[in-house]
Each structure stands twice: as C-alpha cells, then as structure tokens.
C-alpha cells in the first residue's frame, strides 16, 4: 500500500470502505463509529475545539487538508463516533500509522486528537472509540500503539488495555 492507492478527489469519505473498516455498533445501537467525511467540517472542528486551539479554517483549507490526508490513507485514519438519532459527532480520535524499519520493517500506531463531547462523557464512548483504534492498529500489523496524555488519564487508557511505558517531552514554537 502506498500513496498511489489513493482514491479520486471526488471521494467524500476518508480512506477505506471495506467491511473491516465500517461501523462498529455499540450494544445500544445508538452510535456508529465511522471515518471522518469531508461534510463533517463544522461538527468535527467544534469537537476538536473542546481539546485545543483550532483557529480559523476556511472551507478551502479544510478541503485541501482533508484531501491530502485522504490520499495518505495508509498513514491517517480519522475516526468519529456519531449519535445516530441526532447525527451529532460525539467523539473523535486519529490513528496515525508510522512506517518503520525496526521490528522487521513494521509500523507503529499513534493515537492523536482524542475528544469526547463534554455532554456525552461518562457513557463509555471514548473507551469504545479507543478500543476500535487499537483493533485497527492490530489489523494494520502495527507492533504497538502509543499515545501521549496527562498522567491523570492513565486509568482511562488502562481501561482500554494500555499501560504507561514512558514519558513525553516537547518543545513549543508558538
């Protein structure tokens, strides 16, 4: 798989559409997990703004970045959890698949931009989404999945099967 596998620019849903990537229903059938679509702009950016600074993003900027990430669909998978009755996006998380030489030319999954809408917390939706991303990483033959978080979130990620293994250092330019 490489960037040449990308779909047409008319594609409106990121990445694959095979059964293995399609929606996982939760038990209540109230929610579906699916890949981000180009039409999700307003709802998705509103969700991200609960996590961090998003800034002003024009329709053209959105479209350009969305199509760029869609072409690189063996590297970026942006997943959302949608409430079926309202079509609200209530949680999101990105799986970045990094190609390595180590571990026999393997891959590592990085989980990024994890948000659950504040009105929907405490329902296990974040756990459902993270578990889905971990499953995806395994299917994609990553040898591990990692993420950075504040220390007080470790119990949550432990409930998803993850363990603290290191610390994270950063330098900010802005």
Residue of 56, 59, 87, 122 interacting with a copy of itself (CB under 8 A):
56
Q: Classify residue 13 by its DSSP letter.
A: B
Q: Binding of a copy of itself at residue 143 (CB under 8 A)?
A: yes
110 binding a copy of itself? (CB under 8 A)? yes
Answer whether 78's CB lies under 8 Å from 115's CB.
no
How many CB atoms lie under 10 A from the CB of residue 26?
16
Q: Which region, judged by CB under 8 A, interacts with a copy of itself, from 15-23, 27-35, 81-89, 107-115? A: 107-115
Please measure the distance between the N-terminal and C-terminal CA atoms of the chain and give it in whole angstroms.
Answer: 35
In the window 59-88, what residues touch a copy of itself (CB under 8 A)? 61-62, 64-65, 68-69, 71-72, 75-76
**Minimum CB distance to a copy of itself, residue 134 (Å):** 6
Radius of gyration of the chain measured on its C-alpha atoms: 16
Q: Please tell me whether residue 124 binds a copy of itself under the rule CB under 8 A.
A: no
Q: Which residue has the tokens 């199509």?
A: 67
How remote is the C-alpha of 17 from its chain's centroid?
16
Q: Does 55 bind a copy of itself (CB under 8 A)?
A: yes
- Size, binding site for a copy of itself by CB under 8 A: 66
Tokens of residue 98, six digits: 């990094």
Angle between helices 41-48 and 59-71 (to 10 degrees): 90
**Residue numbers of the site for a copy of itself (CB under 8 A)?**
2-4, 44-45, 48, 51-57, 61-62, 64-65, 68-69, 71-72, 75-76, 96, 98-105, 110, 112-113, 134, 137-138, 142-151, 154, 157-158, 160-174
């Amino acid at each position: 798989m490489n960037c040449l596998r990308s779909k047409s620019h008319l594609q409106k849903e990121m990445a694959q559409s095979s059964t293995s990537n399609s929606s996982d229903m939760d038990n209540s059938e109230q929610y579906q997990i699916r890949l981000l679509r180009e039409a999700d702009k307003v709802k998705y950016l509103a969700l991200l703004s609960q996590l961090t600074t998003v800034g002003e993003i024009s329709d053209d900027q959105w479209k350009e970045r969305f199509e760029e990430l869609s072409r690189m669909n063996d590297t970026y998978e942006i997943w959302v959890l949608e409430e079926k009755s309202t079509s609200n996006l209530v949680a999101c998380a990105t799986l970045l698949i990094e190609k390595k030489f180590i571990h026999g030319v393997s891959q590592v999954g990085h989980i990024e931009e994890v948000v659950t809408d504040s009105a929907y917390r405490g329902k296990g939706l974040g756990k459902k989404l993270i578990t889905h991303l971990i499953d995806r990483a395994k299917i994609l033959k990553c040898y591990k999945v990692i993420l950075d978080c504040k220390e007080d979130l470790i119990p949550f990620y432990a409930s998803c099967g993850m363990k603290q293994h290191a610390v994270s250092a950063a330098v900010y330019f802005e």
